[in-house]
Chain A
Amino acid sequence: GESVGLHLPTLSVQEGDNSIINCAYSNSASDYFIWYKQESGKGPQFIIDIRSNMDKRQGQRVTVLLNKTVKHLSLQIAATQPGDSAVYFCAENMGFGNEKLTFGTGTRLTIIP
């Protein structure tokens, strides 16, 4: 079946540098994409989302890019801080509504002081 997958399971970044976390999806019908951050022992926390009719969306220190041509999603975190260390999941939703999310395996981001 189709699924959301991630290119890299782990990523280490020097504090203050920018980080990029990538995600590949295979379902061209997916309409809505979300990035979640999960710290140890906690549930996932919403970071940012993007609809399929957009290719870029910015938040506070985060930017999500969507390339529908190659079915690729990325999360950019600017000026990383120790608190950014966590597992990051991308998720896709095929419905414009309260539908289930399909999650990728996740990327563990470690910020090196």
Chain B
Amino acid sequence: GAGVSQSPSNKVTEKGKDVELRCDPISGHTALYWYRQSLGQGLEFLIYFQGNSAPDKSGLPSDRFSAERTGGSVSTLTIQRTQQEDSAVYLCASSSRDWPYEQYFGPGTRLTVT
């Protein structure tokens, strides 16, 4: 079956511009997660959705970052007024409510801010 998909796969943008990153979770998965991975680093949690609500936004690094999820499916991560330190791979994962709550990851979007 189809896995988690993300688009675009690569995005190069100029400092100060806004970007939108998209995640299509696995069909039927109720939970959706956004992570950020800098070069050679682990995964930094950004935000988690259960359905369309976000019970945990604690990882968003600043108010320039926002995310939404509609119809319990697709999610969009928006970064406003991008900065060079926003350059990273943004990973999305989804999971179902069944044990072991395994999170399935998408391939990521590589964002480069010039």
Interface residues, chain A, CB within 8 Å of chain B? 32, 34, 36, 41-46, 49, 89, 91, 93, 97-106
B106 touches A43 (CB 8 A): yes
Q: List 23 A-B contacts (CB under 8 A).
A: A32-B100, A42-B108, A43-B4, A43-B91, A43-B107, A43-B108, A44-B91, A45-B105, A93-B101, A97-B97, A98-B31, A98-B101, A99-B48, A99-B56, A100-B33, A100-B56, A102-B45, A103-B35, A103-B43, A103-B45, A104-B42, A105-B41, A105-B42
Closest residue of A by beta carbon distance from B32: A98
Inside 8 A of B33's CB, which chain A residues have their CB? Answer: 100-101
Q: How far is the CB of A2 from chain B (nearest CB, A)?
A: 14
Closest residue of B by beta carbon distance from A102: B45
Closest residue of A by beta carbon distance from B102: A46
B95 touches A100 (CB 8 A): no
Contact A98-B50, Cβ < 8 Å, known A43-B105, A43-B107, A46-B102: yes
Q: How far is the CB of B50 from chain A (nearest CB, A)?
A: 6
Q: How many residues of B contact A (CB 8 A)?
A: 27
Inside 8 A of B106's CB, which chain A residues have their CB? Answer: 43
Inside 8 A of A101's CB, which chain B residues have their CB? Answer: 33, 43, 45, 103
Closest residue of B by beta carbon distance from A51: B100
Inside 8 A of A103's CB, which chain B residues have their CB? Answer: 35, 42-45
Bound form: Cα–Cα A44–B91 in Å: 9
For the complex, is B78 an interface residue (Cβ under 8 Å from A)? no
For the complex, is B104 an interface residue (Cβ under 8 Å from A)? yes
Closest residue of A by beta carbon distance from B35: A103
Residue from A32, A44, A97, A105 in contact with B105 in the complex, judged by beta carbons closer than 8 Å: A44
Closest 3 CB pairs of A and B: A43-B105, A98-B31, A103-B43
Q: How far is the CB of B38 from chain A (nearest CB, A)?
A: 11
Bound form: Cα–Cα A44–B30 in Å: 19
B107 touches A98 (CB 8 A): no
Q: How far is the CB of A49 from chain B (nearest CB, A)?
A: 5
A98 touches B48 (CB 8 A): yes
Bound form: Cα–Cα A106–B48 in Å: 22
Bound form: Cα–Cα A95–B50 in Å: 14
